[in-house]
Amino acid sequence: MKKGIIALVILLLCAFVYQANATTYFGCAAQEITAAGTFEDAAGCDGTALTWASLANGDILVANNQAITIANDIGSAILTATLTTEGTDYGGTDGGSFTFDISAATAKTLYVNVVAGSTVGLTVTGAGAGADTTELTINGNITGGTATSAYGVRLEHTLGVIPITGTLTGGAGTTAHAVHSATAGKFTVTGNATGVKGNGINSSDTSIFTVSGNCVADTGTSAGVGCHCGASTGYCTLTGNIVNGPRSVGATGAVRYTPTAPSDGVTGHYVKYDGGGTALFFGKNTDDASKALTDFYYIDPTDGGSDVGTSSGGGGGAWAN
């Protein structure tokens, strides 16, 4: 047991050192991301070129005002790079782009964090093989940018599904959503989506998505929504918690909310409805009115907390057939 703990500590320390030695590379050619000469370790492109096989966990790839395409896998479960169009913060040039065309490649997986600067961080285009066919998987956190409509990821695919696993955070720019879907292609999110000035998720009138995570409104003076579904037909599905903010709500639009109900050992999901303060928990359906007192959460009027069953201060359950 002691040897196992020591081995784990050594592994964690090695991972920390590996992350600390991460390198920032700058785009120096408008070509495919893995091609020789696409990146160098100097913003002026007079340094050492990145050899793709040497890409390390934590490395930062700055577009540096270059239009860079992606047609290959990036990273692995133990290697996550960052793609960003923010250049000034790293001593380079703002702008540029990263683009993945799903119609021009077989299904790929990107282990990347995406951080937009003054332009969109990553754009997905093309049409996949089918409406429910996975064409591209993104594993990593996505953050909107600092300029108007500087989306973290802009989805323009017209056919296919894009699964995203990570934390989505809206940017400081107006409508700088973390993920913005502009077309009919589907996508799923496993993780939390939080609005700032831009939304965590924002979809157009033809886009459908599913979120297995929380939709959280901005907690400050901005009014970013956690998850907005603009679908004019159909609906988007949320299964986590919805947390409202002081000036906006956690989820808006054509949303179908299907939270996990509380049961033995399972707390269930909730909506924090008064500016993110009090949680209203959702309970199980039952056709027995007597079970409402034991199967449902409700707001206790004496302290604003959530309880199960009867309360000496009043309150009680509710049920639905």
Per-residue pLDDT, 276: 62
Number of domains in the chain: 1
Pairing mode, if any, of strands 67-70 and 97-101?
parallel
Check: CB of residue 188 under 8 Å from CB of residue 215: no
Asked if the structure places residue 101 within a domain, the reply is: yes
Asked if the structure places residue 277 within a domain, the reply is: no
Query: What global pTM score does this model have?
Result: 0.82
Asked if the structure places residue 269 within a domain, the reply is: no
Between CA 36 and CA 33, with CA 69 as vertex, the angle to 5 degrees is: 30
Asked if the structure places residue 6 within a domain, the reply is: no
pLDDT tens string 204-220: 888 889 999 999 999 99
Residue whose entry in the numeric block shows the structure tokens 């995406």: 114
What is the distance between the alpha carbons of residues 284 and 153, in angstroms, rounded to a whole number?
36
pLDDT tens string 183-201: 988 999 999 999 999 999 9
Residue 41 CB neighbours (<10 A)? 15
| Residue ranges, the chain, pLDDT below 70 | 1-20, 105, 260-270, 273-321
Per-residue pLDDT, 286: 44
Asked if the structure places residue 190 within a domain, the reply is: yes
Asked if the structure places residue 145 within a domain, the reply is: yes
Asked if the structure places residue 148 within a domain, the reply is: yes
Asked if the structure places residue 287 within a domain, the reply is: no
Which domain range does residue 194 map to? Answer: 22-261
